[in-house]
Each structure stands twice: as C-alpha cells, then as structure tokens.
Structure 1
Amino acid sequence: MKFKHLLPFVLIVILNACSKDDDANGNEPGQQEDPASFTEIGTLDIGDTGAAEISAYDPSMQRLFVVNNGEINKIDVIDIADPSKMTIIHSIPTNSGAVNSVSVKNGLLAAAIESPDKQQPGRVTVYNTNDYSEIKTVSTGPLPDMVTFSPDGNYILTANEGEPNSDYSLDPVGSVSIVSVKDNYQVVNVDFSRFESEQAALQQKGFRIFGPGASFAQDIEPEYITISPDSKTAWVTLQENNAIAKIDLATKTATNIFPLGFKDYNVEANAIDPSNEDGTVAFKPCPVKGIYMPDAIAVLQTGSIPFLFTVNEGDAREYDAIEELKRIKNMSLDPAVFPNEQELKQDAQLGRLNVTTTLGDSNKDGLYEALYSLGARSFSVWNGTTGEMVYDSKNELEVKANAAGYYDDDRSDDKGVEPEGITLGRVGNKDIAFIGMERADAIAVYDVTNPSAPTFLQIFKTGDAPEGVLFISAADSPTKKSLLIVSSEEDGVLKVYTPNTI
C-alpha cells in the first residue's frame, strides 16, 4: 500500500529525468527553430544618417550597444529584454572622433574610435557594460575601422585602415592592433611590410598595390577581422588590396597574404546587369572581371579546416590624387580584344559600367585589353589555411533580390546589391549565414552546414543600407529564441528578427 502512494512521485521523477536527458541530447533553446522563417518582431529608430552602424550585445545585461555618429559621436545603450519594445536607456559619449565599431565580451565593451585627424593614431576605449565606466583607453593604428574580441576574451583586435589624406601627402601604414586584455591592455601593432619582397608574385595572383607614391605597407588597408574559435589565429580582409591576411596571435605576426584573384562575368552563372539605363533588370554574361575586394569576414571551423566567409562588396579609391573609376564608354579599348567596342560602349550595354583604371592596360598603351569592376556581387567561402576558394554564390544574391522585388537597378552600373555585412550562427542543428546587402536593403539567409555547398533559405527586407548584422543565439537571447539584429546606417533604424518554432 505504501508503494501505491509513491507511484505519482516516482512518475514525476522519471519524467523529470527524461526531460534532463533530452536536454543533454541537444533539445536546448532554439533546436526546434526553422532557420528559413526569420520575421521582424521589433524596430527602433535611433537617428538619421550615420546612426545605427554597428551593434554589440551583452547577454548578462540584455543590452545592445550601438554606434551612433549622428548629431554627436556616441554609443547608445538599448534595453532589449523585450525585443518588441526596445528602448534607449543610456548614451556613452565618445568625445572627439567618430566611433566606428563596438564589441562586447565578459562584461567589457570595446569601442574603436578614429582620431579627428584620420591619419593620426586612433584608440580603443574599454568600458564596463554594467555602469558604463571607462576602464582603459589605448592607442591603435590610424583609422581603426573594426574592433572585435577573441573568443576567449584575452585579446581585442582592431583593423586599422590607415587611409591617406586627399592629396596622398600623408598615407599611414595599415595595420592590425592586438590588445592583450590580461596584460594591462598592452598593444602590439602588426603591419605587412615583411611581405614587400613578395609584391610582384602577389600581384600576379590579383593582389593590388596602386596608391600614388605609397609604399607596400602604406598601401595596405585592413578592413574587417575574424578570429578562430581557439583564439590562436586571426584573418583580416584587405579590401582595397583584394586579399585576406592571416595573423598568428601567439607570436603577433602576419604569416600569410592570400590574394583573391578575379571573377569572370562572362560565364552564364556569374551574369550581371551592367547598366542602370537599359530600362530593365537583365542579367547577362559580360566580358568583364570582378575584383572580390571583401568587406566583412566570418569563420566557421569544420573539423580541421577554418572556412572563411567573405561578402564581396568592393570599394574604390576616390581622392584628389587618384580617382580610379571610369565608365567603360569613356575608355579606349583594345580593338584586338574588343572588335565590337562601339556596341559595348552603348549605355544599354557596358557603357555605364564603372571599372578601375588601375588594371587592364598591361602594356600602358592607353588601350584596355581587360576590364575590371569592383566587388563580385556575391559571398564566397575560402579555405583559411591555404587561401583557396571553396565556394562562390555567383549571381544568386542578385537573382534572389530581383525576384523578391528588392534589386536596385540604379546600382547596376556600379556594384549591384553590394554585399557588405555577414554573421554566422547556429539555428537548431544547422549553421546559418546571414548576408547583408547594402543596396538591396535586405538580408539573405543560407544554410552553410556544408560550407562548400551553401543552400539559400530566404530573403527579407531591412532598413536603409544594412551595415551591422548581429546574431544572438537562443541560449543568450532574452526570449530564448535566436535573434538577428540588423542596424542600418542610412536611416538609423535597428530591426530584430526571429525564426518560427517548428
């Protein structure tokens, strides 16, 4: 009789034990989410142009820290405990100099801040995410454009572009600053001068060095950084140079430069719309090459291989001393290569397409035997050990954007949808990539569980010119569901998206 009274209790214990076993087997928050179903659940307008560029998240405080260079330079602090009702609760002034990027780790907020004179050293300021007090400010290379913590929290890295002034009378050395958090924020600046002897061989593979009077080290402009899960290796995009550099964090040295080569738009799968004045969106093969020139980069470690994901935006050098772009209709083409030159120069054909004048005239006779446009209108996957390409999305981003009604034909003559931002996240049991397209004002979502064969899942609208793309895992999310935060630089709007539960 006693045991009968114990039965309900025993059943409860067994059920609880089963529930714990299920959790141990992977039924964690987010496992039942559908990664093809992200929809908007919240929005917040924090300013106009220059606001809402980059966001970082502190899971312990359930707060977003958002770059805002609108009327004044500051970092807005946003309560995101309820993503559908986000509110600004504080602003951290950054004083002189624009703040370009923020990153959060272990209760620390790191901000990359440029000098009012961009050619002078910038700085990283570290704050406490709880009370916003300043912990430390250290000097970096000129124009720190991106900042990130290593996964273990031991390092803060900045990509220092080192852009020249307008007449190129001062062109700082591009570098990566490595800040040792546990060593009283000691800074080591890593530049790329050690590869100068390899310049010719690198250029043969598509590396670009072309600033007026600039040395090898001065001409390199680091853009964006990603770090391996074990915090031992960093990769940085050298956007204007069309390359990825690899850095050993233990020795604090650059070990490799991987030139990225060129993309052939004369292949059907890579077809582009080269004109904004042909009255339609028509993707067609063109006798033009794309220069990958990636902006953001992210790493996915699969087995022993670090797979690097890049978004291939492209970026021109436009200064008083050099303006590299010219429309094809204003160039002289080599008739031996382009016998139909006059036809190609029509506005409805290739005439409107902007290409660089720094490549394509190998014998310097004023006749271009090859044409190179900036960016690749795609995202790519590279082997982080060898630098070899594993995958390219070809023209799928533009085809999908056009089918959804998001393609901006006014940008056809330039860089198309301009893929600029990327973040990776685990949704359910799949690795997912979120691709931000600046000119389509949209995010494309891909299943990248197999990095060599990404699969398109969905595309959705964002604010104007999405710059920051931030993934919050279900485990760290205030809703216990995966969240995607998109910050848009042209309208200062933050948007939050979450997937449906299966």
Structure 2
Amino acid sequence: MPSSLSRRSPLGRRLLATTAAAATAGALALVPFAAHGATGEDDITEVKVLTINDFHGRIQANRDEAGAAVLAGAVAQYRAANPNTLFVSAGDNIGASTFTSFIADDEPTIDALSAAGLDLSAVGNHEFDQGYDDLIDRVIPSYGGGDYALGANVYHRGTTDPALPEYAIREVDGVRIGFIGTVTSDTGTLVSPAGVADIEFGSQLEAANRVAKEIDKQTDVIVLLSHSGAESTDCAGIATEQSDYGDLVREASHRIDAIVSGHTHQLYACEIGDRPVIQAHQYGTTLGALDIVVDAKKNKNKLVSITGSTIDLVGGGTVYPADPEVQAIVDAAVAEAEVLGSVEVGKISADILRGGDPAGSDRGVESTMGNLVADIYLWATSEYENYGGTVPAQIALMNPGGLRDDLRFEGDGTVTYADVAAVQPFGNTLVTLTLTGAQLEQVLEEQWQPGSERPKLHLGVSEGFSYEYVEDAPAGEHIVSMSYQGAPIAPTDEFVIVTNSFLAAGGDGFATLADGAGTADSGLVDLSATVDYFEAKQVVDPAPLGRAIVSGTTAP
C-alpha cells in the first residue's frame, strides 16, 4: 500500500476568480475537463493528480521499469475510475535516455508521453541538454505547447524576464488547479554552458512564491512542480535538510498546497509544513498521486484536503494493461533502434559499473566505469589515429553524472553500439586544455560541493594519475597530494587535460576547468571515440580502483 498524507486548508482560503491574460510569464490557458461527480456527493468534488519525474526516455518495459505503454495504461485506468484526473510531470522526461529514445533525439518519448495523456510538465535540467534553442524550437513544439516546459525561475540572462512559461492552470469539473514549474538553480552547471548562455536560473523559492501570489485568486489549488529534490527518503531528514531544496520545502508560500519534486530520483511521500511533499522515484517505476477534495458548493471550492502518495507500477501487485497506441509508438522506436544498435563493437571481461550499490546510486565514490571512460578519453587524444591535436593529452577527467548506464558481462561479453551509447548518451565532444598543478588540485577540490543536492561528485581519472585525499576536511583542504607517472605534481607543473565539452566549459560546478589555457575542441564525439576504443581492444577490462586514495590507507 502506498504511504499517504493529507493537508486541510483554512476555510475559504481561496475563491474562484476570472481568468487573466495569457502571457509568456504564465501558460494560463484554462482547459476545462468534463464534469463528473466523483464521490456521489453533490457538494464535494474529488480530483486526482498523477505525477512522474525523471522518466529519462525509459519507454521500453523491463523487469525494473514499467515502460511507457504500461504507464499510459495505469493513467487510463485511474482516469476511468475518476475522470477528474490530471497527469503531470516534474521534469526530465527526456535526456540521459536509453538508446531506443536517445538515437531518435527523444522524439519517441515525447510521442509516447503525449499519447499517454500528459497534461503538462515542469522543465528539468535535462530538457536543456541540447540547449535552450533546441528546447524552444524543437522539444516544446513536439509536445504541442509551452505547458510542457514550465520554468518560473528561468530568465533571460541579466533580466527578470521569463524565458519559459511560469505556470499553467487547469479547470477540472469546476475546480481550478494552478501548476507552477521550477528547476534546480544548479542547472547552469549541469548542462553545457554554451547551450544556456543567454538564460540564467534563479531562486526556486523566490519564483514559486512570487507566482503563487500572482495566481492565488485565479485558482482553488496550487501545486508546485519542482525539478529538485532531497537526497534521502527520510521525511524528518528532508524537513530539516540544509539545502536549497530544504529551504524550498520549509519556506514555500502557504498558498502552495503541495510540492511534487524530482531530480534526485528518490521515492518519498511526506507531510512537511502541513502539506504533501512527494517524489515518484524514476524511469516510470512509480506514479505519484495527489488526491484533492474540494467543497464545490457550500464554500466556493474550498480545499477540504489534499493527500499525497506513491503507486508502484512494477512490483506493487496491481497489473496495469499496456496501452496499445503507446505500445505501437514504442515498438516502432525499438525496431528502428535495433537496426542501428545491434552492431557489435567489442567485448568486456567483467562487469564495468558506476559507483554505489546498486550501481549508479552514488556519484560521490570512485568507480570502474568512471576510470575506464577517463582511460578512453586519454587514448582518444593521445593514441587514436583520428585525433588531430598537435599535443597529446596526459590526464583525463570524467564526471559521474555523464555516466548513465553500466556494462554488464553476459554470454561471451559482447558489447553492442546500443550498450556503449547508453553509458554516454549526451553526444559531447572531447576537449583538451592546459592546467597548472595548482589548478588541477583546485579541480579535484571542486568534487566536494557542500549545500548542493549531491554534495560530492567523484571524477573518474585516467591511468598514470593518482591523488590522496581526506574526505572530511574544510573546503580547499581535501587534497593531500597528487602524482603523475609516480612523480609528485608541483603547483607550477603544467599538464594537458582532456575531458568532455560539458566539463571543459565548467559544467557540474567544476568552474576551474573553464579557466584552462589553450582550450581546443578535438571534434571527437565521446560515443564515436568509445566505439573505436572497443574496436581497437580485443577485450576491455574494468579500470582498476585506487587512483583516488583516502589518505592513510592503501590503494586496493
């Protein structure tokens, strides 16, 4: 059974009001839904809001993920039980997707979610993976409108002018529900800076409270769709979390009746500050649900209660039917991807995994996958025949957030194009730059990011480079020593570094990389270089751990 909670608002908290003019600042189109008595009580209207977050193009079903067709079937089943049902997202519908969606620029995901009846969505950081222009010119039109990229804290750079619609209002059986969208203010560091050069990401709290006040008299219920979240699933911990998200949860306006979150891929249904705060895990494994009860007549649509819960789509015992229209979209995408992705590119000798248990759950630890990709980057800019640079790279760095899947040893260890593409789905290029020893140390210090939703991002590093560190140390004092080919690195030494274009531009908070000298884009795409690396090696082994060593311990 899903966990649940409820909120009861003050009597007469909000009255119905007339519509305001539609503007860029808000997608105010009031879309009425057919009126149906949901409870059999004339004075009471029940509305259900189903939610997803961090779907990331997981349109195919597997043992852990429901897939788009079953997701659509579940939504349809709940709508059949209560026609007063909305289906919304807290962002990251696309980007960092599996090969089936990634190879087609995520158009199959957009088509599948649209066919599933997605009503609106907040924008997530991954919606900016190919830049703001791509979001505006391709993604939003593919959905059919700006209600699928709500971002109240996204502004044209240097202004407070909204760069995206800030909110959308839906009328359901006479009840007006306002949805405000916000995205983590860290987004500028999570995507290629070049792609968002003309926009900036402000405070979610300021934007949410500002817009809630603006639409208060136009709505009966306000839901915040925040593409940010807690790192834990403990409600008490979330309530006291010292982060931007913690501040948002505690200080959001009393006008906001519920908070639907995302980004951190967690599963929780909490009551914090007398309102539901939920997140529905990831990849379509789970639906979030807000059950809203409104006194429709006696008290002019007074909110009686709002209850938050989560619904397991893959292991909860209830079997939801696959929607045939959505299944046809998925099947067509699979057929196209199978042709492109079935080509064998090489073999592995054992599992090659991201950090954490399960793999991929912890970006703050060293991983065989992170180190291997760093090795591939180094090979591609030092030994690879297609590298056109005049100076070979010496040290490679790889960010953990750029690793989106593992390579599992199965059968004879064969790895396909699709397998490799799933690991690095962003299409970054490899960039070289020169850093001093002092700058390199600062880059390593930037792995620790206290106050962020992920307080540490452990970089994968290439063979030949290693360092010792103290985990719990003051800012700027984590790195004890560094060495290259066994020799200590001095602050004035210089090294040619290779990384992906995202990190080279200062992404993920590694600002010092953007200060490197002689920055040059090799033109090599990470996926193409990885495919050629596998083809060049008879068998690829997991890269060893122990390149980053806790001070006072022995490397494994």
Instruction: Identify the TM-score tier after normalising by the shorter chain.
Output: under 0.3
TM-score where L is the length of structure 2: 0.24
TM-score where L is the length of structure 1: 0.26
Between Structure 1 and Structure 2, which shows a larger proportion of helix residues? 2
Between Structure 1 and Structure 2, which shows a larger proportion of strand residues? 1
